Amino acid sequence: MKAVEAENLTILYSGQPALSDVTFTLEEGKTLLLLGPNGAGKTTLLKTIACFHREYTGELRVFERPPCEARELIGYVPQSQSLNERVPLTALEVVAMGGVYRKGFVHFRIPGEVIEKAEKVLEFVGLGGIGDRLFRELSGGQKQRVLLARALMSDPRLLLLDEPLSALDPSARAEVANVLDKIKREKGVTMIITTHDINPLLEIGDLVMLINRRLIAFGRPEEVLTDEVIKSVYGPMAKVIPVGGKVYCITGDFHIHRGGEKI
Ligand SMILES: Nc1ncnc2c1ncn2[C@@H]1O[C@H](COP(=O)(O)OP(=O)(O)OP(=O)(O)O)[C@@H](O)[C@H]1O
Ligand SMILES: [Mg+2]
């Protein structure tokens, strides 16, 4: 089954194209890493697949139907979290929200079976013991895993993750990347993950798409992640360094710190 199929897809805001003429196919069960500089159209593409944005031309099909007919199958974790942290919700309540909002109701009391499922999903993301802790008091990596758990509550077949690693330190990035790997292996969920730092995700990416207001490259990581392609988007300072059969990417958005100096 094809999870996402786009043909000559052009996405517009008030008639102005933000992302033009994109054609690709993502098979179910695969993980796609979506790369591109600021303003490239990454969030725009995710929102359109999720049916949050509907102004486009060309063909877009999600599980072989129009995006808005596939909403039940999609989990979406937005880029900057809109969760109001002044409301003192526990981690378990945040996760459980993913199981009640979907039905279109605001519940004043969360049903017991939703709580039970939320506990299991928290366990799955490696946070079994923290259900009672306040969400706002968790570490960045823990928060991101709680938000992943919330998205998993509806058993999505396609997960759209907008920069799940941004604003995390390297060890938290690895933590979240491990959970994404587990979701892929154990649940077989198709994922599209946007990221500025591709390196922690290279192990789980079956495909890489590079965009910059249009499609620059799409294919297996070793096809897309070449010095030439990366430099064409991120400029001459960007490079791909081969390390023991794998690659390490340095783009303009990502810096290695050495002795406090950016290089
Ligand atoms: N609601 C909107 N109305 C009008 N233009 C928009 C809207 N949202 C995004 N855009 C424009 O569409 C283009 C793509 O934006 P988008 O947010 O998809 O980029 P991005 O690749 O996600 O960038 P970033 O890495 O900064 O998150 C930008 O030029 C942006 O200004
Ligand atoms: Mg974005």
CA of 209 to the centre of ligand 2 (A): 14
pLDDT at 141: 93
Place of tokens 């994404």: 180
pLDDT at 260: 36
The pLDDT tens digits of the residues spanning 63-107 come to 999 999 999 999 999 886 667 777 788 999 999 988 876 555 555
Collapsing DSSP states into helix, strand and coil, what is residue 74? Answer: strand
CA of 141 to the centre of ligand 2 (A): 19
CA of 156 to the centre of ligand 1 (A): 25
Closest ligand 1 atom to residue 253 Cα is 25
More confident of the two residues 235 and 9: 9
Neighbours of ion ligand 2 (CB under 5 A): 42-43, 79
Q: Where are the domains of the chain?
A: 2-262
Please report which ligand is nearest the Cα atom of 39: 1
The pLDDT tens digits of the residues spanning 200-215 come to 999 899 999 999 999 9
The pLDDT tens digits of the residues spanning 117-160 come to 999 999 999 999 999 999 999 999 999 999 999 999 999 999 99
**Which residue has the least CA distance to atom 26 on ligand 1?**
38
Cα→Cα distances 126→29, 129, 162, 178, 188, Å: 22, 9, 21, 10, 18
pLDDT at 85: 77
Q: Considering the domain delimited by 2-262, tell me its CATH architecture.
A: 3-Layer(aba) Sandwich (3.40)
35-43: average pLDDT = 94
Structure-token pair, residue 211: 């965009």
Buried b (16+ CB within 10 A) or exposed e, 81-106: eebeeeeebbbbbbbbbbbbeeeeee
